[in-house]
A and B are shown apart, each in its own frame.
Chain A
């Protein structure tokens, strides 16, 4: 595709959207389950019991899809390297992240060239991966509470709620940056057709841009 760079394989994209849908469902049903004043949300789904069932199905799909997509050929490699790289936070990443608040509110300050995922994204990924892992583990503990030690269940509630609220906040930022932010929302295409504009890539992921260019030349 002209003027675009291939960024995400189909598997990764599907994985992202499965998670996105599940996340929203989990967020909405979870909120209805844990806050009595948000119980009306449950009516969208046909009541609180169905909401709970949806919450559990969505949770199951959410977690099972991780195993499936992380083990799948190309996207598996891609996802594994994404996860691995997310936790490799370099000086350059830090420099990017430092300027993130300015970027967030529409400003701009130069930052060193970034890899496939810039510092802000890595921060998002780190929080998401850690948070969702904790939510998943605590969620399963809650699901099977009757066969778990009581203290563990009690703390699972804290973790589940705490991380859910945190991740919800992160999600809002992610949504904003991915959809609403006039600059960074150019990345959105990467999650639809897999391509992002070259210019955008150059501006935001210079290291990666160069790397891809070299690779393309070689092939």
Chain B
């Protein structure tokens, strides 16, 4: 399968949240108890039972009101921090570009949660498995659109081949920029390129997402420096221990010590 992409055109999103419901309907995810947080928003973050939600951002400037909507879900990054962080090799990439969690392998450690720049994957503590958007891989591999895309009435979500979606995004950006000079794409320049590409009307920070999302430095240090160095340290220590044993053996220290002990025991016995 060729690389796929979902283009999220926030300029068309009406914040109806059908995507969130359709996701739950397709993936049999239970409803959660919520209350309003701000504006009309009630879902605060992805959870093991909420794989996509909309955040709402009210911005009033120079007498002009803007009500900005942002759809959150797994971005299915090309350089997936979660995958790098996963100690269990449970996270993998598909040919189509999706980042998936193999629940046979997942151990529920939550390293993916902590290392995802958006904290998308979440561990269900009752089963100790991490859950997140699957990109509806079962639908797309079977020729259907992802559930969120297929339900989106205002046409804010598009699904297709990666290059086709990128082109569409560029075209829309060109149009939208006329009215919203700060409009920009989000996703193409981060994490090696994401599978969910956004058209935003303003800076990512206005939507509460980091503009410079990247694999955390700590993760790189951890996996690429600390682990190899630590391995060397332990290996070195192990070699030293073995070397020490051999050296002592070669120097006859064990024999001598043995004698000493025997002597002292003899003494004891003699007393």
A–B contact, 8 Å CB criterion (strictly below): yes
Residues of chain A having any CB pair with chain B under 8 Å: 3, 33-36, 39, 48-49, 52, 104-107, 145-146, 150-151, 153-155, 157-158, 161-162, 164-166, 168-170, 172-173, 175-176, 180-183
A145 CB → nearest B CB, Å: 6
Give the secondary structure class of A's interface: helix
A176 vs B218: C-alpha distance in the bound complex, in angstroms?
33
The residues in B between 235 and 270 inclusive whose CB is less than 8 angstroms from any CB of A are: 236-238, 240-241, 243-245, 247-248, 250-251, 253-254, 256-257, 264
Residue of A at shortest CB range from B119?
A150
In the complex, what residues of A have CB within 8 A of residue B234's CB?
A: 165, 168-169, 172
In the complex, what residues of A have CB within 8 A of residue B103's CB?
A: none
Cβ-defined contact, A153 with B233, below 8 A: no
Cβ-defined contact, A49 with B108, below 8 A: yes
Cβ-defined contact, B245 with A176, below 8 A: yes
A39 vs B229: C-alpha distance in the bound complex, in angstroms?
21
With an 8 Å Cβ cutoff, the count of chain B residues facing the other chain is 44
In the complex, what residues of A have CB within 8 A of residue B85's CB?
A: 157
Cβ-defined contact, B253 with A183, below 8 A: yes
B89 CB → nearest A CB, Å: 5
In the complex, what residues of B have CB within 8 A of residue A33's CB?
A: 87, 107, 109
A183 vs B222: C-alpha distance in the bound complex, in angstroms?
38
Is B156 in contact with chain A by the CB < 8 A criterion?
no
A206 CB → nearest B CB, Å: 19
A102 vs B253: C-alpha distance in the bound complex, in angstroms?
13
**Segment of B34-42, B110-118, B132-140, B192-200 in the binding face:** B110-118
A166 vs B232: C-alpha distance in the bound complex, in angstroms?
10
In the complex, what residues of B have CB within 8 A of residue A173's CB?
A: 237, 240-241
10 A-B contact pairs sorted by A residue (CB < 8 Å): A106-B251, A145-B113, A154-B115, A157-B115, A157-B218, A161-B230, A162-B226, A165-B227, A166-B233, A183-B257
Known contacts A166-B230, A168-B234; 8 additional CB pairs below 8 A are A36-B87, A36-B105, A104-B240, A145-B114, A151-B216, A154-B114, A158-B226, A172-B238
Is B221 in contact with chain A by the CB < 8 A criterion?
yes
Cβ-defined contact, A161 with B244, below 8 A: no
In the complex, what residues of A have CB within 8 A of residue B109's CB?
A: 33, 52
Residue of B at shortest CB range from A106?
B248
Cβ-defined contact, B87 with A181, below 8 A: no
Cβ-defined contact, A176 with B251, below 8 A: no
In the complex, what residues of B have CB within 8 A of residue A36's CB?
A: 87-89, 105
Residue of B at shortest CB range from A154?
B218
> Which residue of the partner chain, among B115, B230, B241, contacts A176 with CB atoms under 8 Å?
B241
A185 vs B80: C-alpha distance in the bound complex, in angstroms?
49
B219 CB → nearest A CB, Å: 7
Is B231 in contact with chain A by the CB < 8 A criterion?
yes
Cβ-defined contact, A172 with B87, below 8 A: no
Residue of A at shortest CB range from B254?
A182
> Which residue of the partner chain, among B219, B226, B231, B253, contacts A106 with CB atoms under 8 Å?
B253
A170 vs B241: C-alpha distance in the bound complex, in angstroms?
11
> Which residue of the partner chain, among B105, B119, B236, B245, contacts A180 with CB atoms under 8 Å?
B245
A158 vs B111: C-alpha distance in the bound complex, in angstroms?
11
B168 CB → nearest A CB, Å: 33
Is B128 in contact with chain A by the CB < 8 A criterion?
yes
A107 vs B251: C-alpha distance in the bound complex, in angstroms?
8
Residue of A at shortest CB range from B258?
A182
In the complex, what residues of B have CB within 8 A of residue A153's CB?
A: 114
Cβ-defined contact, B119 with A48, below 8 A: no
A154 vs B117: C-alpha distance in the bound complex, in angstroms?
10
> Which residue of the partner chain, among B89, B111, B222, B256, contacts A182 with CB atoms under 8 Å?
B256
B36 CB → nearest A CB, Å: 22
A217 vs B258: C-alpha distance in the bound complex, in angstroms?
32
The residues in B between 66 and 89 inclusive whose CB is less than 8 angstroms from any CB of A are: 85, 87-89
B90 CB → nearest A CB, Å: 8
In the complex, what residues of A have CB within 8 A of residue B254's CB?
A: 182
In the complex, what residues of A have CB within 8 A of residue B240's CB?
A: 104, 172-173, 176
Q: Are A158 and B114 also in contact (CB < 8 A) when A172-B237, A173-B240, A180-B245 are? A: no
Cβ-defined contact, A170 with B237, below 8 A: yes
Cβ-defined contact, A165 with B89, below 8 A: no
A150 vs B5: C-alpha distance in the bound complex, in angstroms?
28
